[in-house]
Chains A and B, each alone.
Chain A
Amino acid sequence: MSDQDWTDQQPIVSIKDVHKAFGTLEVLKGVSMDIMKGEVICIIGPSGSGKSTLIRCINALNDIQAGSITIEGQEVHDTKLDKLELRKKVGMVFQQYNLFPHKTALENVMMAPIKVLKQPRDEVEVRARALIKKVRLEGKEDSYPGELSGGQQQRVAIARSLAMDPDVMLFDEVTAALDPETVKEVLLTIKELAADGMTCILVTHEMGFAREVADHIYFTDRGVIVEHGPPETFFESASDPRTKEFLGQIL
């Protein structure tokens, strides 16, 4: 299936039997999932179960040993693939925000469209200001990351990814490093994004949030998907003992 043949009736992200090892340590042992356009997916599971590795493989920050990952029909781990084309489609937000500390909030948002996509500066600035407003940080345009709270930085990071106009957003434990009060504002931003129809894949420990926004929940443990389903059935009637044990510890 090539890029041109893809229609949004097919999965926007399709993961098939993915295997990934760091040296001899096998982290993903055959993971598969299909995600449709506009869906919100939450991946949960104990630490070390491979969730972060999986979403890092989706935008080729990690390579894979076997299997396939396609985005809009395009194989991600094709060696001939233009990485830029992939990264235009996939935005990623990290646990530690990873903003550029020497650039203001506005410059952080503007940098990639100007440098990578070569878009004209004034056009990008209009869009960047709108995005900063969208993540409720109006007035913080000229603040440096060091002057912002964790939650504010994380929202700048979300705006920075959105500035590349991606079709899929990946969130890697984006609230794990935040204070409880600021978690809410970041989750609200993600919820609004989801409501706008953005395809979102989240690795999260926020069970309440997962239950509220996710269309589908995947539970991973030791490199495999143990169980998955829509939130209602997943949380109410998990069948696998490992899922039950995990939910018992967390909830």
Chain B
Amino acid sequence: MIETIQDFFRTMADTYPKWNFIFFHEPAQWDRVVSGFFVTLQLSVACVILSVIIGIVGAWAQGSPSRTIRWIVQGYIQFFRNTPPLIQLLFFYFALGQFTPTVTGPDGWTEQPIISNVGWAIISLSFFAGAFNVEIFRSGIEAVPKSTLEAAESLGFTRAQTYTNITFPLALRVSLPALNNNLINLVKTTTQAIAIAVPELLYEMVSIWNDYASAQNAAMAVLFFTYIALVGVLAFGMNRWEAKLLVPGFGKARR
């Protein structure tokens, strides 16, 4: 089976030299694609989870009675929302990376930073997307009617009980469509990690076509296809979640 596929793409590369899907007939190149894909997957999953946590905590902190805390959250949002994610990434890795402690590597003499380039990419991209998530969750929280919360108060709910049982479940429903968009953007933005040499999918693909110029068209095609599939899975999952949480008479109508 595998041989048949490899033969097919080898013949194709011979017939159409501009369409050399080299990774489909050379196992060494295939391994690079697979490892790049898993790094992309790792980046995407880690950033999605972290940025959502940042969003929830940030939106909650924005409602804090302390002016200082609100001010800090606002400053964070303004900084990360109003500067390009690529510059943030470079700043985190090259500027902040210099100040993190190092440990001695496995060879016994090289010094390695505690936070790797993958680590910095996850941190930087999570904070970037997290800034938007704070705003998204905040608008959801603001959409919960005060009168509904008052009803909870009159039934004896504490502030924390009201937040977990009423405010958050309702805010989440309002926030999901916007959150969906932002997370899709985040998954696509992980390609920028190429700038600090994180070996994700784009990095591996570019390396392959630098090594084999004939593979450029094929590599780009595979990149487009992979991101369409990856984002498609995420969007499908988010839409399913949205549909599952949908209740009649709140938010949009049932389809």
Contacts and interface: CB of A to CB of B under 8 A. Distances in A.
Contacts of A115: 157, 161, 165
A144 interface: yes
Interface string A93-116: 010101111100000000110011
A87 B155 contact: yes
A230 interface: no
Interface in B91-110: none
Contact of A161 (B150, B155, B157): B155
Interface string A127-153: 000000000000000001111000000
B155 A61 contact: no
B65 interface: no
Chain B interface size, as a band, is: 20 to 34
Contacts of B153: 61
Chain A interface size, as a band, is: 20 to 34
Contacts of A96: 147
Contacts of A98: 145, 147-148, 150-151
A117 B156 CA distance: 9
A164 B165 CA distance: 17
A164 B156 contact: yes
Interface of A: 59, 61, 83-84, 87-88, 90-92, 94, 96, 98-102, 111-112, 115-117, 144-147, 157, 160-161, 164
23 contacts: A59-B154, A61-B150, A61-B153, A84-B156, A87-B154, A87-B155, A87-B156, A91-B154, A92-B151, A94-B147, A98-B145, A98-B148, A100-B148, A100-B151, A101-B148, A102-B245, A102-B250, A111-B155, A116-B156, A144-B247, A144-B250, A146-B249, A157-B151
